[in-house]
Chains A and B, each alone.
Chain A
């Protein structure tokens, strides 16, 4: 703690099990808009907030939700390190708010018993009192207060209940800190166990400084995570001493690790004696009744499929008018700007490169918002946890536990937080497997790629009336494809490179609730703004470079010379012809102009590079333009849409005069160079979609894989296997497709 003449500064850490309303409480206290979701998923954010009460400023740190302070994975280690003051970024907390679920004190107090051993001033926050009441659970808080030995406050954070009392308790705890008094809590362990810890502490003290709690954890940690964590002073002789201590404890009937559960639950039993009264028959809550259907293997799966089908249909149906609106705005902008500028590179850059490229991507904003509207509602009402529960059965078949499902679920929005969320997986092989398959989940960046190709080439044929059509089915299939391939890759990895047993998975299903409008709105605005910002930065910059690569060297003499004779002849015809013959001559001139525009593209830097690429992508049904667009999309997948938009605007003579063209129509009209044969058809569109469903075209994702795995080898492995799968998938799709369409 630091203090000054005006303000005292206190650091407060919030610790609790998952789903105890910790982030909600954090938001209420610190006034921060922290993302809140009603599922034990992932919130990958740095959570530090501040609040002031009278003359004290509190810095709040929201720690990862955890069931235990026994570090078995990197995220649990973060919590332990912060509490022990071993984190360099933040100081040791002065006060800890231990947040527990009022309806499940027995389980929640296990973590509290570990926390109290650290000796930090603690306030026990008994949250979610409303849920306890619904379940018929009665609590004698005065008795709990007396028996646990630290101040207790009851709250219902989402309704602001108990916050005044909590703040008062925090001030009191701060005063305790100021007075230099700690909270003396008796250890739950027997004397013999404590003596062993003491001996080990004395031994390690000769070579390194280690908090007593960590020494105790080393003694209890039979899975070896701490032994391999590179802690100072932990060498082979110390580990041998730990083994000897375990042997002596086992001889006294205190075998490690069972001794911990026995001691702590015994402590919990004492603390809760006479505190909790439960009804003999727990009342059936609405959540219980809904879960009978939603977690049923058959009915739950049907509901899941119906929800997904509805979501994908809505992405097409609801977004139509909004997309037309955005399209209209960019079309008009292109017309207005095009009319103001004289023909030349500046006009081409602005109209074809900037407005065409950025507009081509930003048109998908409505679809992105609809996708995230569904995700936000499903998360916030508590449905996502049920989806994870249903998927656990499938996950175990491929050697992964349901614990992998949460990172994979996050990857549908973006693979980066999904990959980082894999830190919660203790087993290294499972963690690696999850990280390597997470980018196969169709992230939101793939949505524009699917949407443009589906809208342009998949007929709007109803399948189940107006509720579900062929377009929604195609998009759904792309998401399913990613999931199925991820499952197969995980299966192969778990049986070869990363062989290991399937870990068990325990997940708490939160209560259902009405989605919070505030939370949903916040999520949508955040996503929408990020998408627009990205279009105005990365997409804009890439569009400019793509334009430059497609415009230059722009050698007029070389490109136009072969066409001069034909153009002169047509111009002469136009001057003397009338009626239908004049119309035909003008059409011929427009066709020659298009050929010239096409010749400029082929002579451009990108066109020349594309011709080198074309033989590689031709078996997929792609021409050089698609090949170049796919390569250019390496920084981010949706860049392909911007690139195609720029390419086809520039390849269409007259586009500058007319403003940006409808990309869907441009794709339908595109022909192979020098022929009338259309480039795109259904097999080609599907081939591109399959490629993008499976490819690793996302540089930031590869960088994060490298960081999380500690080696470029795994990032390279992910890139190679995904690109290979994408190529093979696209090849098979096209080659099989052309036999049917």
Chain B
């Protein structure tokens, strides 16, 4: 594969990565979606009203 093609491929990959991070950043900033991604369901993107904060972690008995 010529170096031109190689450069084009990595450019496309880098562009996709940048697009992904920009979208992720926008979602975080606008409060529309997830936080850092460490949790399966990040509360950061939930609506302020429906996020439940449970004082009782709830004993199983």
A residues near B, CB below 8 A?
16-24, 36-47, 62-67, 75, 78, 81, 87-90, 128, 130-131, 156-159, 342, 344-346, 349, 379, 382, 406, 414, 416-417, 420-421, 423-424, 443-445, 510-511, 513, 516, 519, 526-527, 529-531, 533-534, 537-538, 540-542, 544-545, 547-548, 551, 635-636, 698-701, 703-704, 707
Contact = CB atoms under 8 A, between A and B. Distances in A.
B50 A87 contact: yes
A636 B36 contact: yes
Contacts of A443: 38
A43 B31 CA distance: 19
A22 B52 CA distance: 13
Contacts of A24: 58-61
B57 A39 contact: yes
Given A414-B39, A540-B17, A40 B55 contact: yes
A700 B60 contact: no
Contact of A530 (B14, B18, B39, B56): B39
Nearest to A44: B43
B53 A423 contact: yes
Contacts of B6: 344-346
A384 B10 CA distance: 49
Contacts of A21: 58-61
Contacts of B54: 18, 22-23, 41-44, 62, 64-65
Given A414-B39, A703-B31, A65 B59 contact: no
Given A526-B40, A541-B17, 18 more contacts: A20-B59, A22-B56, A24-B58, A38-B58, A42-B53, A43-B53, A62-B52, A75-B55, A87-B50, A156-B61, A345-B7, A538-B36, A544-B17, A545-B21, A547-B14, A636-B37, A699-B25, A703-B29
Contacts of B51: 44-46, 420
B15 to A, nearest CB: 9
A443 B42 CA distance: 14
Contact of A81 (B24, B25, B49): B49
A306 B20 CA distance: 44
18 contacts: A18-B54, A19-B57, A22-B58, A40-B55, A41-B54, A42-B57, A44-B54, A45-B41, A62-B52, A78-B53, A89-B49, A89-B50, A130-B61, A157-B60, A345-B9, A414-B35, A529-B40, A636-B36
B55 A530 contact: no
Among B49, B52, B58, max chain A CB count under 10 A is at: B58
Contacts of B9: 345-346
Contacts of B28: 699-700, 703
Q: Which are the 3 A-B pairs with shortest beta-carbon distances? A: A18-B56, A65-B56, A700-B35
B44 A698 contact: no
Nearest to B30: A703
Given A65-B54, A417-B43, A513 B59 contact: yes
Among B13, B24, B39, B53, max chain A CB count under 10 A is at: B53
Given A46-B51, A78-B52, A700-B36, A545 B17 contact: yes
A281 to B, nearest CB: 24
A128 B35 CA distance: 36
Interface residues of B, number: 44
Contacts, number: 222
Contact of B20 (A20, A516, A537): A537
Contacts of A78: 49-50, 52-53
B38 A534 contact: yes
Contact of B53 (A23, A44, A703): A44
Contact of A46 (B18, B31, B50): B50
B1 A17 contact: no
Contacts of A75: 52-53, 55
A59 B48 CA distance: 21
A38 to B, nearest CB: 5
B35 A416 contact: yes
Contact of B21 (A36, A130, A541): A541
A545 B19 CA distance: 11
A444 B6 CA distance: 37
Contacts of B38: 414, 443-445, 530-531, 534, 636
A625 to B, nearest CB: 20
Contacts of A699: 25, 28, 36
A416 B39 CA distance: 10
A42 B36 CA distance: 19
Nearest to B43: A44
Nearest to A35: B57
Given A416-B35, A542-B21, A544-B14, A45 B60 contact: no
A30 B41 CA distance: 19
A38 B52 contact: no
Nearest to A519: B60
A23 B55 contact: no
Contacts of A90: 50
Given A44-B43, A541-B17, A541-B21, A420 B61 contact: no
Contacts of A421: 53
B52 A46 contact: yes
Given A19-B56, A420-B43, A538-B24, A414 B50 contact: no
A641 to B, nearest CB: 14
A90 B2 CA distance: 59
Nearest to B7: A345
Contact of B60 (A17, A36, A545, A698): A36
A345 B36 CA distance: 29
Nearest to B57: A37
Contact of B57 (A38, A424, A547): A38
B1 to A, nearest CB: 7
Nearest to B34: A700
Contacts of B49: 78, 81, 87-89
A62 B55 CA distance: 12
Among A90, A551, A703, max chain B CB count under 10 A is at: A703
Nearest to A507: B55
B21 A635 contact: yes
A511 B57 CA distance: 12
Contacts of A66: 55
Nearest to A541: B17
A403 B58 CA distance: 17
